[in-house]
Amino acid sequence: MTQVNLSTADSAGDVGSRDAREFRHFINGAFVGSASGKRFDNRNPVDSSLIGYVHEGGRAEVDAAVAAARAALEGPWGRMPVTQRVELLYKVADEINRRFDDFLAAEVADTGKPVSLASHIDIPRGAANFKVFADIIKNVPTETFPFATPDGGEALNYAVRSPRGVIGVVCPWNLPLLLMTWKVGPALACGNTVVVKPSEETPATATLLGEVMNAVGIPKGVYNVVHGLGPDSAGAFLTSHRDVNAITFTGETRTGEAIMAAAAKGLRPVSFELGGKNAGIVFADADFDAAVDGIARAAFANCGQVCLGTERVYVQRPIFEKFVAALKAKAESLKPGLPQDKDTGIGPLISQEHRSKVLSYYDKARQEGATVVTGGGVPQMPDALKEGSWVQPTIWTGLPETASVVREEIFGPCCHIAPFDTEDEVIRLANDTPYGLCTTIWTQDLSRAHRMATRIEVGLCWINSWFLRDLRTPFGGSKQSGIGREGGVHSLEFYTELRNVCIKYS
């Protein structure tokens, strides 16, 4: 950790020391440094080169951001008619699209993910998350009940949705802009104000969004960003702040437990999207090539760093050997390389620290007796990329269901494949986990698909598809994969307080 003195700046990423950028907090419409002067390095996972310095927020920055968010609620934002709010959110979406290349470059530098992926998923969804929730808030009705009163009069009950207030938004690093705006879009659409704590690994796009907010005229204090770490830093200070009315969090289940304990003080509601150990299930009657493509994406896309990813694959016995061979060929076709290269099929992991974790599971799999079908280590990279966080896409077979890599979330480009015989057996295997985020099932038998969908204990069940998103639908996990649902009108349940008004008249 380097200690420096810092000042305020007009833009998110002005030049600090020659080439390195400064990632400052965005509080009350201005980019500000930390009062403590503390900052930490932001490194590019492709080669570990220094991108810049991130200011570490402490209590002072969190207090200032929460106060700005509270004042904005009481100011023009709180009084703004929904039609005007919606127009501003459309402008946010348009401005993200106008600055598409800036967002893309920022996201790619922070994560190392291929440009082909970020330009199709991360950045377009960043814009769509504002547009879709602006449309939803504009169109959603509330309920009305007229009734006759005992004294012969009449009364009318109707519900109104009010913002919850200041929302704390704590985000992970795997899809930084997508997952942050997935929370900020509906929160603002509903009239709340936000204080965002981006992941320490990926500060750039949340910071850049501050410039967008100013450019389109979102009032000061509506969108705030405080950078920092989790425990004993900005994350913990934000989630324990008594003037934060609700907390929405995406990240590890263990972190969710810590945040829930913090939120218990003051009984603040939480919305949690947490870890998973998702099963992919392939029946012998599946469209074979489509299933191989789908499972390959679920296991290896974003270098396996997708909460919806599949690290446990179950394949019906008649096609088991053929499927393992086909998935091996897919894994081996994924060329690691620079994000900008057209033939790059897989990027690095987010950091050296995460790489050590993933490689420790590669070792454990071997120690526990796995057959390593492919991968299991670090790919050969050219000298310029040798310091990057690269790992090989990896497939194992032959492990019992009790093995660590079958039970624990790894969050890397790897999966274990096991054979199964019957529907009942595979349902039992798939459900034998404390998690319950999603599943992807491949079969051409529609009746079976419906039967399976109701029996797998998950929040999201994809049939003959994976990560196919319609933002109007409920999204979230069962068991230890989450609390609550967001998406479409379900987001309104969390981001608004539903109030009943009862008017008696004669």
The residue ranges that bind ligand 6OD (CB under 6 A) are: 174-175, 179, 182, 306-308, 469, 475
Task: Say how many C-beta atoms besides its own lie within 10 A of residue 473's C-beta.
Answer: 11
Angle between the 100-111 and 176-189 helix axes, to the nearest 10 degrees? Answer: 130
Q: CA 8, CA 13: separation in Å to the nearest integer? A: 11
Contact 396, 306 (CB under 8 A): no
Which of 46-67 are b and which e, b meaning 16 or more Cβ less than 10 Å from the residue's Cβ? bbbeebbbbbbbbbebbbbbbb
Q: By rule CB under 6 A, what count of residues binds ligand NAD?
A: 32
* Smallest separation, CB 150 to ligand NAD (Å): 49
Residues 149 to 178: which contact ligand NAD by CB under 6 A?
A: 170-174
Say which entry of ligand 6OD, ligand NAD, none residue 182 contacts (CB below 5 to 8 A, set by partner kind): ligand 6OD
Structural contact between residues 315 and 324, judged by C-beta atoms closer than 8 angstroms? yes
Nearer to ligand NAD, 38 or 85 (CB): 38
Cα dihedral 203/175/395/319 (nearest 10): 180
What residue 211 binds from ligand NAD, ligand 6OD, none (CB within 5 to 8 A, per partner kind)?
A: none
Task: State the nearest-atom distance from the C-beta of 475 to ligand 6OD, in Å.
Answer: 5
Name which of 44 and 302 has its Cβ closer to ligand NAD.
Answer: 302
What CA–CA distance (Å, rounded) separates 347 from 389? 9
Which residue has the CB atom at the shortest distance from ligand 6OD?
307
Answer yes or no whether residue 412 interacts with ligand NAD by CB under 6 A: no
Coil, helix or strand at residue 313: strand
Nearest residue to ligand NAD by CB is: 230
CA angle at 41 for the pair 376 and 127, rounded to the nearest 5°: 80
Q: Mask 238-257, x = binds ligand NAD (CB under 6 A)? A: -x----------xxx--x--
Q: Report the distance separating Cα 22 and Cα 448, nearest Å.
A: 54
Report, in Å, the least distance between residue 498 CB and ligand NAD. Answer: 24
Nearer to ligand NAD, 124 or 275 (CB): 275
316, 351 in Cβ contact below 8 A?
no
Phi, psi of 217 (to 5 degrees): 90, 25
93-to-87, 124, 215, 216, 488 alpha-carbon distances in Å = 10, 9, 12, 10, 17
* One of 78, 126, 203, 275 touching ligand NAD (CB under 6 A): 275
Shortest spacing between CB 307 and ligand 6OD, in angstroms? 3
Q: What residues between 90 and 109 interact with ligand NAD by CB under 6 A?
A: none
Q: Does 437 bind ligand NAD (CB under 6 A)?
A: yes
Phi, psi for residue 455 in degrees, rounded to 5: -100, -15
Q: Choose the one of ligand NAD, ligand 6OD, none that binds residue 409, judging by a C-beta under 5 to 8 angstroms depending on kind.
A: ligand NAD
Rounded least distance, CB 238 to ligand 6OD, Å: 20
Provide the annotated active-site residues.
273, 307
Nearer of residues 229 and 298 to ligand NAD, judged by Cβ:
229
Encoded tokens for 374: 């492919």
Following DSSP, what letter does each residue of 400-417 receive, concatenated?
Answer: -TTSHHHHS---SSEEEE
Minimum distance between the CB of residue 110 and ligand 6OD, rounded to whole angstroms? Answer: 15
Q: Of ligand NAD, ligand 6OD, none, which one sits near residue 93, judging by CB under 5 to 8 A according to partner kind?
A: none
Task: Decide: is 200 part of the binding site for ligand NAD (CB under 6 A).
Answer: yes
Residue 259 touching ligand NAD (CB under 6 A):
yes
Among 258, 372, 378, 461, binds ligand NAD (CB under 6 A): 258
As given in the structure block, the two tokens for residue 98 are 């106008």
Reduced to 3 states (helix: H, G, I; strand: E, B; else coil), residue 166 is strand
* Partner whose binding site includes residue 276, from ligand NAD, ligand 6OD, none (CB under 5 to 8 Å by kind): ligand NAD
Q: Is 273 in the site for ligand NAD (CB under 6 A)?
A: yes
Q: Please give the radius of gyration of the chain, using alpha carbons only, rounded to the nearest integer.
A: 24
Nearer to ligand NAD, 397 or 440 (CB): 440
Footprint on this chain of ligand NAD (rule: CB under 6 A): 170-174, 179, 197, 199-200, 229-231, 235-236, 239, 250-252, 255, 258-259, 273-276, 307, 409, 411, 437, 477, 481-482
